[in-house]
Structure 1
């Protein structure tokens, strides 16, 4: 499977809320760099993060465009996050079902057909303004 197909499969699993299918795309020691947070290492930490996110947020990604280097070792994706804030996340505004729509991106390192690094970016100030409105 080429890198673009791998990243596309990862995001399809995200949209299906299928953490196991997402993890199947990852190397066991994946480094997950979340926006405004600490780096989580390993699929167990990734799964715990997904559990937390699923409790607090319901999100679907649209307008996904995936790009990769010719050798497939690095990739990037641009997309729109369409979400609902379900449960208050610690340190963030109170949740009451607010919806939001954000441009976002992901950056990846790939080795031997597995994602070894994920960096996610979105504008937190934009999200905060939307859920406070």
Structure 2
């Protein structure tokens, strides 16, 4: 893929995220996608990604803004930095109690692309900052 095609793929991924479309994100992923989440274990495969995404939708309502996408020249890798604007809807295991708290958090993700599909997504944010914002 070219750098422009990778940029378009990542743009579509975040558009699906902001639309709340788990199916839209899944369509862009390789069957054996590696999903690395902040402070968590690596999940392998679309089913694990789907399970995680629905868990997140239950606990959090998030919308990403200020998205800046960067790609390698050969299109094999990409990265994005963005602002997460969220509401904590339901208590997530091991985290503070949810009471509808809102938060704004800088975050970033890294992507690996093969054959037009995302084969790895790694996301980072500052959990201590999020915990402070939700009153934990």
Same fold (TM over 0.5): yes
The residue that corresponds to 2:86 in the other structure is 83
After TM superposition, where is structure 1 displaced by more than 4 Å over at least 4 residues in a row? none
The residue that corresponds to 1:33 in the other structure is 36
> So what's the TM-score if we normalise by structure 1?
0.98
SS in 1 for 2:10: helix
Corresponding pairs, count: 133
Q: What is the CA deviation profile of residues 92-121 of structure 1, one whole-angstrom value per residue up to 9, with x for unaligned ones?
A: 000000000000000000001100000000
Alignment of 1:62-73 (within 5 A): 62-73=65-76
Q: Deviation of residue 71 (structure 1)?
A: 0.4
Alignment of 1:114-133 (within 5 A): 114-132=117-135
The residue that corresponds to 2:48 in the other structure is 45
Q: What is the CA deviation profile of residues 6-35 of structure 1, one whole-angstrom value per residue up to 9, with x for unaligned ones?
A: 000000000000000000110000000000
CA RMSD after TM alignment: 0.9
SS in 1 for 2:40: coil
The residue that corresponds to 1:11 in the other structure is 14
* Rounded Cα–Cα distance in structure 1 between residues aligned with 2:41 and 2:27: 22
SS in 1 for 2:134: helix
> So what's the TM-score if we normalise by structure 2?
0.96
SS in 1 for 2:111: strand
Alignment gaps of 5+ in structure 2? none
Alignment gaps of 5+ in structure 1? none
